[in-house]
């Protein structure tokens, strides 16, 4: 955005950071929950004062114009945007910066850079917007590589074609969410994929990590919006055929979706776009009992009504992030359509909620878009949702442990999973000597289960909060798998989830993935350590052992 500067150490724009009165209100809310917390703020060091290791790599002359070894570039590409990334940056702890940041301007540049890195044995870490919260863009590749290159796709940022008849668009991987939507808007189209990182993440990042968007049902993941992919690998370029559907063998697109840059670099995609919604209706339903709120949410998930928004906030989440006090939680409901009014389907969803004891302190709203936003619980939640990462940074700088983890499970397993998480976090907080609270919301719902998203807010010790969080995260990750959940619903695997991903992934799939990696990336230079270890680094045998993950956990 013109006139604004990206933060090198934290989320978003420097100018949008939490300061002044907002910081005061945030501190007051924290003190209301944790009266004895020390909220002394700490500032990150200037980039010029970082003690970065010297770059070990010099690009060939033909590629030098694409590459940068500037400290600011290297520092900004060293970490993602997880809590532990932000805190390490605040301490000036940037141990594994890339040696170079390469910014290709064409697909041929991507191929040439991959060819150079493969011949030289240099690790290549594909980079979109850098919003990874699982270590997916961190060049922490081990000593087996003479250097690491962060491959920033930000200059491949064009919408190349729009097929209005088929409602599809051909888009380069480096385009950011807002730019994509602005290009589609004049034709009254939208991708309608709005992750929380929308403003600061790219199409390629969404595809490589199987990102979850704002749709709570049906079109929940970017997978659902992909018509075809183009991927550059060290072994050649893969271009799948544009089709609405196909039964011709395993899907080539599914091989690369979620591969996190380990099999190739996604350079462009044909996407299924939609007409922009004209009608919207929403409501916030309150419950006195959490189990009843869950039952109502499940009834909606299995009703075939397909809400675009159906987020259940538990009492702690509703209080902290929507300012609403309830005994059982708040269900934020929304419907939209480009074709017809949606008031009747919202009415039916509300009726299902009332069957389970739900009440509406405010009447539901139906309107033609775009209508001005109100000040009810739905809008309060929406505004809070967008400010959460900035508030996380402000609290991290004040010695707070503020982080999230997400999963998905079947409805029958949810009560036990939630109880296990609450018990595990409570025990882990006691072990690390911290006091705090745990919140939960459903980000997405399916007929067979929800995707719970947990938040931890705890008073940590400055200088120890990363270690404290790592201990909590390890305990919770093991608990999620033991309770029948997934290690991640939409945050991806990266480096941080590897031990538990190795447990969750079936062994025949691991063998097939290693074979695909060896064929497409024979030098094993693409994002090493993500999804798989290179031969002799941790080792294939180690990855096959569930004991490896258990020891780490």
pLDDT for 151-188, tens place per residue? 999 999 999 999 999 999 999 999 999 999 999 999 99
- Centre a 10 Å sphere on the Cβ of residue 105 and count the other Cβ atoms it contains: 13
Round to whole Å and give the CA distance between 289 and 324: 15
Round to whole Å and give the CA distance between 305 and 269: 30
SS3 content of the chain, % helix, strand, coil (to 5): 40, 20, 40
User: In 3-state terms, what secondary structure has residue 449?
Assistant: strand
Residue 456 has pLDDT above 80, yes or no: yes
| pLDDT tens digits, 6-38 | 999 999 999 999 999 999 999 988 998 888 899
| pLDDT tens digits, 313-360 | 999 998 887 788 899 999 999 999 999 999 999 999 999 999 999 999
Query: CA–CA distance from 350 to each of 332, 356, 368, 451 (Å)?
Result: 11, 10, 20, 21
Mean pLDDT of 420-444: 97
Mean pLDDT of 424-432: 97
pLDDT category, 224, cuts 50, 70, 90? very high
- Centre a 10 Å sphere on the Cβ of residue 351 and count the other Cβ atoms it contains: 11
Mode of pairing for the β-strands spanning 226-233 and 236-239: antiparallel
Residue 549 has pLDDT above 80, yes or no: no
Q: What is the pLDDT of residue 494?
A: 98
Under a CB-based contact definition with an 8 Å cutoff, are residues 261 and 125 in contact? yes
pTM > 0.75: yes or no: yes
| pLDDT tens digits, 348-400 | 999 999 999 999 998 888 877 554 444 455 666 667 778 999 999 999 999 99
Token output for 130 = 């850098």
Mode of pairing for the β-strands spanning 148-152 and 123-127: parallel
Torsion angle defined by CA atoms of residues 502, 507, 508 and 512, in that order, rounded to the nearest 10 degrees: 30
Give 286-326 as a DSSP string. Answer: EES-HHHHHHHHHHHHTTT---SEEEEEPHHHHHHHH----
pLDDT category, 540, cuts 50, 70, 90? very low
What angle in degrees, to the nearest 10, is found between the helix axes of 377-396 and 83-90? 40
| pLDDT tens digits, 400-422 | 999 999 999 999 999 999 999 99
pLDDT category, 542, cuts 50, 70, 90? very low
Sign of torsion, CA 79 81 83 87? Answer: positive
Residue 551 has pLDDT above 50, yes or no: no
Mean pLDDT of 494-507: 97
Residue 537 has pLDDT above 90, yes or no: no
Round to whole Å and give the CA distance between 332 and 405: 20
Q: What is the pLDDT of residue 547?
A: 31
Under a CB-based contact definition with an 8 Å cutoff, are residues 134 and 492 in contact? yes
Round to whole Å and give the CA distance between 63 and 56: 16
Residue 553 has pLDDT above 70, yes or no: no
Least confident of 29-33, 69-73, 136-140, 184-188: 29-33
Q: What is the pLDDT of residue 1?
A: 56
Q: What percent of the chain has pLDDT over 90?
A: 88
Q: What is the average pLDDT score of the chain?
A: 93
């Amino acid at each position: 955005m013109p006139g604004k500067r990206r933060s090198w150490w934290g989320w978003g724009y420097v100018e949008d950071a939490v300061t002044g009165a907002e910081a005061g209100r945030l501190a007051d809310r924290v003190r209301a929950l944790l009266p004895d917390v020390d909220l002394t703020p700490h500032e990150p060091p200037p980039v010029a004062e970082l003690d970065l290791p010297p770059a070990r790599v010099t690009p060939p002359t033909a590629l030098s114009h694409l590459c940068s070894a500037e400290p600011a570039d290297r520092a900004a590409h060293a970490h993602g945007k997880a809590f532990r990334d932000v805190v390490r940056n605040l301490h000036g702890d940037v141990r594994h910066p890339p040696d170079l940041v390469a910014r290709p301007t064409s697909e041929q540049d991507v191929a040439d850079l991959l060819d150079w890195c493969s011949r030289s044995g240099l690790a290549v870490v594909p980079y979109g917007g850098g919003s990874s919260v699982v270590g997916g863009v961190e060049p922490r590749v081990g000593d087996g590589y003479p250097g690491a290159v962060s491959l920033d796709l930000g200059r491949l940022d064009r919408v190349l074609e729009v097929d209005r008849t088929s409602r599809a668009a051909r888009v380069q991987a480096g385009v950011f969410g807002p730019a994509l939507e602005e290009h589609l808007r004049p034709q009254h189209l939208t991708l309608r994929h709005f992750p929380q990182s929308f403003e600061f993440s790219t199409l390629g990042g969404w595809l490589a990590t199987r990102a979850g968007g704002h749709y709570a049902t049906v079109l929940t993941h970017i997978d659902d919006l992909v018509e075809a992919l183009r991927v550059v690998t060290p072994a050649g370029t893969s271009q799948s055929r544009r089709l609405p559907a196909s039964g011709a063998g395993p899907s080539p697109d599914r091989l690369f979706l979620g591969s996190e840059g380990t099999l190739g670099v996604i350079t462009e995609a044909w996407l299924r776009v939609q007409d922009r919604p004209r009608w919207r209706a929403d409501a916030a339903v309150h419950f006195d009992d959490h189990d009843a709120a869950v039952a109502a949410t499940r009834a909606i998930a299995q009703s075939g009504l397909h809400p675009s928004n159906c987020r259940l906030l538990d009492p702690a989440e509703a209080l902290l992030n929507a300012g609403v006090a309830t005994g059982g939680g708040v269900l934020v409901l929304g419907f939209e359509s480009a074709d017809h009014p949606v008031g009747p389907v919202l009415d039916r969803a509300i009726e299902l909620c009332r069957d389970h004891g739900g009440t509406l302190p405010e009447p539901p709203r139906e309107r033609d878009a775009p209508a001005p936003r109100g000040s009810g619980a739905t809008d309060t939640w929406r505004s809070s949702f967008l400010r959460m990462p900035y508030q996380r940074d402000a609290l991290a700088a004040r010695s707070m442990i503020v982080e999230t983890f997400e999963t998905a499970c079947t409805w029958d397993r949810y009560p036990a999973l939630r109880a296990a998480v609450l018990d595990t976090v409570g025990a882990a907080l006691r072990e690390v000597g911290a006091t705090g609270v745990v919140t939960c919301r459903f980000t997405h719902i399916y007929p067979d289960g929800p995707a719970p998203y947990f938040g931890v807010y705890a008073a940590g010790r400055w200088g120890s909060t990363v270690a404290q969080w790592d201990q909590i995260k390890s305990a919770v990750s093991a608990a999620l798998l033991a309770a029948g959940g997934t290690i991640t619903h939409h945050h991806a695997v990266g480096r941080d989830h590897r031990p538990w991903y190795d447990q969750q992934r079936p062994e025949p799939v691991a063998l097939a993935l290693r074979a695909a990696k060896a064929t497409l990336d024979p030098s094993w230079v693409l994002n090493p350590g993500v999804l798989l270890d290179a031969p002799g680094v941790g080792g294939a045998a180690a990855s096959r052992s569930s004991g490896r993950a258990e020891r780490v956990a």
